[in-house]
Amino acid sequence: MYPSSFDYHAAGSVQEALALLAQYGDDAKLLAGGHSLIPVMKLRFAAPAHLIDIGRIPALSAISDGGANVHVGATARHADVAASPIVRTRVPLLAEVTAHIGDPLIRNMGTIGGSIAHADPAADLPAAMLALGASLVLAGPSGTRTVAADDFFTDVFTTALQPGEMLTEVVVPVPGAGSGAAYEKLPDPASGYAIVGIAVQLQVRDGAIASVRVGMTGLGPMPMRLAGVESALAGTAASTAAIAAAAARAGDGLSFDDDVRGSAAYKLNIARVYVRRALVRAMAASAG
Ligand SMILES: Cc1cc2nc3c(=O)[nH]c(=O)nc-3n(C[C@H](O)[C@H](O)[C@H](O)COP(=O)(O)OP(=O)(O)OC[C@H]3O[C@@H](n4cnc5c(N)ncnc54)[C@H](O)[C@@H]3O)c2cc1C
């Protein structure tokens, strides 16, 4: 199917994009990589009269090392994030998760900001944002604000972005010594999206788990942290027994239904299995 007709605007700066958003309001949509928006428009689930292309704004795709944090511009493409030496060495979980997205065509076009703003409940990057404790920089008519990933994803395809705002930058804290991370994903064989995806970022100090964050995608209405798993692990000795006890709590706070993707019992099982796999690898990685 073809999308309904629209006017195309190529924004030359963030200010210009914001001005166009203010001018056209609900009739406008930002266009980044187009790999979620265009399919939705072709299906006529969305029919914006104005598309504001932010993919040509210089510097909005920059990736830089700020010391304590890595900064990734909203229009950095998945393939560039996955291949970035800064990302790979400083925040390896982000590189690993990004490399799991779709296929090379998707990764060559899709952007980090588009994926996070779209907030598909089966997308990979939101789980990474939660595990990494990332922050999202939003620019709007009244200035710039920073929102923690924990507060950003609010419901199905719904985020803290307000009308007239755009995501400009992702700020990712650099993990300290003794850290390890892993992403374990069961992809849908047709789409590549996650049936379940578990992102773990943890730190081991003196043989004990000093901090751990577990982000989950695919099995809930939105990406979420697995609080039961995190509390079972925090402060315990980094051991196989601790991992088993924590993985048993993967379903805490989640409710599963039988549907075309599997029974409730199957979903609970894969949640536990993928949490255990991710924890095992993250723990091994923390040992260097
Ligand atoms: C066949 C296929 C397979 C895929 N497989 C996967 C997969 O395995 N895992 C996965 O995670 N994703 C997958 N995707 C989605 C892909 O990663 C998309 O590229 C991504 O979700 C959206 O990024 P985009 O840059 O293309 O955004 P667009 O499609 O351009 O925009 C998506 C939405 O976000 C808004 N938006 C874009 N940028 C901003 C911004 N900076 N600020 C505010 N709003 C913004 C747009 O207005 C639009 O509503 C797949 C897509 C396809 C078509």
- Ligand 1 pocket test: pick from 38, 101, 153 the residue with the most ligand atoms within 8 Å of its Cβ: 101
The pLDDT of residue 260: 82
8, 212, 214 from 249: Cα distances, Å: 49, 14, 12
Tell me, what amino acid is at 198?
A: I
Give the number of other CB atoms < 10 A from CB of residue 119: 22
Q: Are 118 and 36 in contact (CB under 8 A)?
A: yes
Q: What is the pLDDT of residue 1?
A: 78
Question: pLDDT by residue (tens digit) across 28-38?
Answer: 999 999 999 99
Distance (Å) from CA 113 to ligand 1 centroid: 8
Name the phi and psi angles at 203, rounded to 5.
Answer: -135, 130
* 161, pLDDT greater than 80: yes
Burial (CB < 10 A; 0-12, 13-18, 19+), residue 33, is: buried
pTM score, two decimals?
0.97
What is the helix, strand, coil percentage profile of the chain, to 5?
35, 30, 35
CATH classification code of 63-173 = 3.30.465.10
Q: What is the pLDDT of residue 193?
A: 94
Fold of the CATH domain 179-286: Enolase-like; domain 1 (3.30.390)
Rounded distance, CA 70 to CA 87, Å? 7
What angle do the packed helices 240-247 and 264-286 form, to 10 degrees? 150
Return the percentage of the chain with pLDDT > 90, whole number.
92
Tell me what the mean pLDDT of segment 243-253 comes to.
Answer: 95
pLDDT tens column, 188-240: 988 899 999 999 999 999 999 999 999 999 998 899 999 999 999 999 998 99
CA of 156 to the centre of ligand 1 (A): 15
Q: Which protein residue's CA is at the shortest distance from atom 37 of ligand 1?
A: 114
Separation between Cα atoms, residue 123 and residue 127, nearest integer Å: 8
Determine the average pLDDT of the residues in 49-67. 96
User: Which pLDDT value is given to residue 255?
Assistant: 87
Ligand 1 atom nearest residue 165's Cα: 43
Query: Distance, CA 107 to ligand 1 centroid (Å)?
Result: 10
Pick the CATH number of 7-53 from 2.60.120.370, 3.60.20.10, 3.30.43.10, 3.90.79.10: 3.30.43.10
Contact residues for 191 (Cβ-Cβ < 8 A; gap 6+)? none
What length does the chain have? 288
For the chain, the domains span 7-53, 63-173, 179-286
